[in-house]
Structure 1
């Protein structure tokens, strides 16, 4: 019987008590309220995530190509939602690779697991995260990716440190984020320059802003664990 495994273990994030990160206050206390609801409308969100006007969806193939994943890579899709990128990553890394679909909403993870089983993708493993940790195993992945998720981190310093913990030495981090321009992007907390500064402060170095065809309202940043 085909099984998609769910990791339930909660791992320590390796931040010393009393440190700045450990004391970090929430920067957006209600930002994830909808995703914590017991009656989360998964199908409704799936439709929204795949809308024709959503750039992160329309440019998904170009984004994955730009990441240059290798056969056998272990990839974490943090804030995976309904698994738009999870599926593409699983195909890109092949049967010898592994994809962790990571989200705070168990309903999204169940949806991803169901679709992965339907598609015969045995290299997908779901991991439920929380506000302060991904709960990914330490030094377990070559690449971490998140799409329009950074502004959903209530505790960005803590989460950046936890992502660093989950990456292997010299691991790569790709951040696809909506540019803060006012108007429709009022929910986006920080401009690109602040995002870069926060992530670099957490032990990463910026490699480049990746030029991806089809991205105008979003940007893709490539970091390495330092």
Structure 2
């Protein structure tokens, strides 16, 4: 089964092709450029380089958030369009789970992948390896990094923090958790699209019409609109 994985949910853009024999090809960048302009050319280039056509695909897998509101929406929209056009299954995977998978699968402790959410907040969750597979210990959530550190302090395990935004909150984790806080190497901070492909390979098919991103919180414009409607009543 040939699967196409798409991740535009955050700063890094990643595309991968994989089948039962392994990773066929992978494309990833970590630069401030518009995902909406670059993602389709990236998909086309990877298919061309791997000598594949869209008709060769059997499944589309997408990072469903949390992360950048616009980025998540771009990836999900393209994935849904491709799956619908090609009449193939669609699966979604947590953007945090993708980030945790690479370094965390064999870490002897818990893994806290994170994306900065401004105002001292982070998108994060807690994962742990069990028999080489990553399982969720705490659901993906939006929380103040200080409160998250205090919550993690109650457990006895070491915590591996991973993600390119870790440096923004590292001081807090070090102060609260001390030696229990472990920080991934810089080469491990970008989510790998091949991990997305692997995680979603056997995931159940989503209903294309009802599948939506997991933003965790409303976009700022939506939140303001809802608040304005309440004030008018």
What TM-score do you get using the length of structure 1 for normalisation? Answer: 0.29
Structure 1 or 2: more helix by fraction = 2
Higher strand share: 2
Larger Rg: 2
